[in-house]
Structure 1
Amino acid sequence: MNAPPSARASIAQVFRSAGIVLRPAAAVPDHRPRGRPETMRKILHIDMDCFYAAIEERENPALRGKPVGVGGSSRRGVLTTANYEARKYGCRSAMPVFKAKELCPHLILVPVRFDLYRSESARIRAIFGRFTEKIEPLSLDEAYLDVSHLRSSGAAIARELRAQIREETGLTASAGIAPNKLIAKIASDWNKPDGQHEVTRDEVAEFMAQLPVGRLWGIGPKMRGKLNAMGIHTCGDLQRLDKLELAQRFGSWGLELHDLSRGEDTREVRTESIRKSVSCEHTFPENIQTLPALEPMLLAMIEEVREDLERKHSNRLIRSLVIKMKFSDFTRTTAEKAHAELDAHLLKELLAEAWKRGQNRPVRLLGVGVRFRDPEEKQQLDLF
């Protein structure tokens, strides 16, 4: 019940006598979080469309509308990426050049220009920074953004962000919008190129139930074949198996499958906190069958790690170099050696060592990275 005017006046007098000044409610700053509560996250996954190839087409408009592959200047090399025209013929990243040329004899090959790609990536990263400080780059051409603090809808934010990228760089981006990183990444591939797809919290259950199991992270053709042989074609099929049965069939990976199939992912968008390592990983669309075919991809990934080091970790001391390899049967190995610099020659030796451990098994994932010395260790070294 509202107090009568006389009562309100006396209340004001009491507060004034106590040295408390009453101000109109409108003058009080609103510190409430913008948008939904923290439990209702809005995560964007932004993925540039054929990033390297799109930059080359922008720089040389004569390439537009023609099948273009970036990298792989020799027949023994592999493609770093291919544009959408080339993909219509079956050309893909990590594909040997000779095979790409068989599929598309008129494929135009252009050399990799990492300095240019890094420069464009920095411009796009600056656009991300207009919307949020919570940015987790995955590579030069994709990143997670946490925009939970913004009042606008995730879809509206993604549209505006993509529009700014297009206007300022001439490049297009696709976006996935979801309550977590897992679903946002899947959704970003839904309306490629130059599109976006949102999965709201209320839509997660239906979205995951109908999702083919092959769209889940970590499930390649071989694993998909095993699941299909069990009658499992969608995440909904997978959800009917309990944790015990999945663990019995697939070990610890089965427990992860249980959560993935339900769209459960509590990972935060990681920002520029102190990191113990920097790495780059690539899962190949098709398993790589030979060591020479891995080497061009290794060199490209070394450049991504180098760019990350120069841009964000130039003051950190490197402890060791690391090669990670996952094989077609999902076993993995890590080759590591103490070294104070990012050395391509040494990383090639570690690549060969990891390949030898695999006993010629096809490779489905390659990772390259460095481990840092502890900051305290750096301080002690500085004293001497």
Structure 2
Amino acid sequence: MDKVIMHVDMDAFFASVEVMDNRSLRGKPVIVGGISERGVVATCSYEARTFGVRSAMPIYMAKAKCHNGIFLPVRYERYKEISNKIFSVFNEITSLIEPLSIDEAYLDLTHVNKDSLYIARFIKNRVKKETGLNISIGLSYNKFLAKLASDWNKPNGLKIIKKSDVPNILFSLSIDKVHGLGKKSVKNLNDIGIFTIEELYKLPVAFLIDLFGKFGAEIYDRIRGIDNREVKIFRERKSIGKETTFLNDTDDKDDIKPYIKSFASSIASIMESKSLSGKNITIKIKTSSFINHTKSKTLTRYIHREEDIYKEACNILEKLKLEEKIRLIGLSISSFKEKKIEQLSLF
């Protein structure tokens, strides 16, 4: 029995919520992410995208591309409120839901005794009625194709990819549509003349394994419609982190340490609430020329206390060679285990 997998994606979510709350913004280039020149775009309306504005783009660059853009700060609590309403609609259909983010999820409909197209239209109508927002939905027999389908005719899209459609339906698409191929991998393939999935399809599996390691075999299968990943109800959190962009670039480590201290406090609070300990500490920096660097340290013990996280982070920071000023600093912890409550012996 083939699986029935749905991928749902809330179109330009943050910007759409802002337009819903303020109708005067309708049809205008709304850019969410902050009003400071030092920030980055979280998301933007489709009107802003026509100017070349994209997520993760520095605000100053977005302003240069879109002179009449309306720049708004992130209101995460409001977005979470709307997201919860939408996910409650999903829960009426199935409990097999894998949230990918606040605005994206997989649903496994394999054992839901209703036509999948009917369910998709039901969800779209309910979400529109209860929140006023549009969502895009993709349906297929695995996760890769369902996600590809949801992106097919956004915004407000609905697409089904059947087994009989594969692989021909994929051939004209750019290789950057293949889940798992990041910018570096795409560039490596472009450098050898591979730009479309059809061109990628012609490469032997051994070549892809040489290029990408064991992941090359997954790419080989994926573009042939093979993807055995399950919809996971609980996604394991891989890391907990915080980062910020400075008002002014700096190369003074003493200026940076108060931010590290604040991050350590926030991360420790989150870990405490989830009963987690971790042993991999990572410092991330972005230089004034927008180059990202990370440096990690794997400890011999698990930690969760603020003072321990701060101490280890500072040790990493001290070993960093700051060859130019930095504009962003981040701290994260990973390699988790669940803390167990130890019962003290009376003896």
Alignment partner for residue 107 of structure 2, among 145, 149, 152? 145
1:60 corresponds in structure 2 to: 22
Give 1:340 shift. Answer: 2.2
Q: Is the 8 A contact 1:72 1:96 kept in 2?
A: no
2:304 corresponds in structure 1 to: 340
Q: Is the 8 A contact 1:316 1:372 kept in 2?
A: no
Whole-Å Cα distance in 2 between the matches of residues 253 and 171 of structure 1? 37
Whole-Å Cα distance in 1 between the matches of residues 153 and 207 of structure 2? 35
Whole-Å Cα distance in 1 between the matches of residues 191 and 109 of structure 2? 40
1:249 corresponds in structure 2 to: 211
TM alignment of 1:1-384, pairs within 5 A: 37=1, 40-272=2-234, 275=236, 277-279=237-239, 314=273, 316-320=275-279, 323=282, 338-340=302-304, 370-374=334-338, 377-380=339-342
Whole-Å Cα distance in 2 between the matches of residues 238 and 358 of structure 1? 40
Give the superposed CA RMSD.
4.0
Q: Is the 8 A contact 1:321 1:339 kept in 2?
A: no
Give 1:203 shift. Answer: 1.6
Name the aligned partner's letter for residue 49 of structure 2: R
Give 1:181 shift. Answer: 0.7
* Inter-CA distance 231–128: structure 2 relative to 1 (3 Å threshold): same
- Helix, strand or coil: the match of 2:171? helix
Question: Where does structure 2 lack aligned partners over 5 or more consecutive residues?
Answer: 242-248, 257-262, 287-292, 325-329
Name the aligned partner's letter for residue 247 of structure 1: I
Give 1:121 shift. Answer: 1.2
- Helix, strand or coil: the match of 2:217? helix
Name the aligned partner's letter for residue 131 of structure 1: I
Give 1:123 shift. Answer: 1.1
Name the aligned partner's letter for residue 200 of structure 1: K
Give 1:349 shift. Answer: 5.2
* Inter-CA distance 372–252: structure 2 relative to 1 (3 Å threshold): closer
Name the aligned partner's letter for residue 317 of structure 1: L
Give 1:118 shift. Answer: 1.2
Give 1:259 shift. Answer: 2.0
Give 1:246 shift. Answer: 1.9
Deviates most, 55-64 or 125-134: 55-64
Q: Is the 8 A contact 1:279 1:367 kept in 2?
A: no
Name the aligned partner's letter for residue 278 of structure 2: R
* Inter-CA distance 280–357: structure 2 relative to 1 (3 Å threshold): farther
- Helix, strand or coil: the match of 1:373? strand
Give 1:41 shift. Answer: 0.5
- Helix, strand or coil: the match of 2:7? strand
Q: Is the 8 A contact 1:180 1:267 kept in 2?
A: yes
Whole-Å Cα distance in 1 between the matches of residues 311 and 63 of structure 2? 29
1:307-330 Cα shifts (integer Å, max 9, x gaps)? xx69xx9453343575598x9xxx
1:305-360 Cα shifts (integer Å, max 9, x gaps)? 99xx69xx9453343575598x9xxx9975567542699x959959x86x969999
2:327 corresponds in structure 1 to: none
Name the aligned partner's letter for residue 144 of structure 1: Y
- Helix, strand or coil: the match of 1:119? helix
1:13 corresponds in structure 2 to: none
Whole-Å Cα distance in 2 between the matches of residues 120 and 347 of structure 1? 38
**Count of aligned positions:** 311
Question: Where does structure 1 lack aligned partners over 5 or more consecutive residues?
Answer: 1-36, 282-289, 296-301, 361-365
Q: Which is strand-richer, 1 or 2?
A: 2
* Inter-CA distance 131–357: structure 2 relative to 1 (3 Å threshold): farther
Give 1:238 shift. Answer: 1.8
Q: Is the 8 A contact 1:82 1:93 kept in 2?
A: yes
Q: Is the 8 A contact 2:208 2:217 kept in 1?
A: yes
1:79-109 Cα shifts (integer Å, max 9, x gaps)? 1111111111111111011110100111111
* Inter-CA distance 197–59: structure 2 relative to 1 (3 Å threshold): same
* Inter-CA distance 323–43: structure 2 relative to 1 (3 Å threshold): farther
Name the aligned partner's letter for residue 77 of structure 1: G
Whole-Å Cα distance in 1 between the matches of residues 91 and 278 of structure 2? 31
- Helix, strand or coil: the match of 2:36? coil
Q: Percent sequence identity over matched residues?
A: 35
Q: Structure 1 segments of 4 or more deviating over 4 A? A: 278-281, 320-325, 331-339, 345-350, 355-360, 366-372, 381-384
Whole-Å Cα distance in 2 between the matches of residues 41 and 291 of structure 1? 53
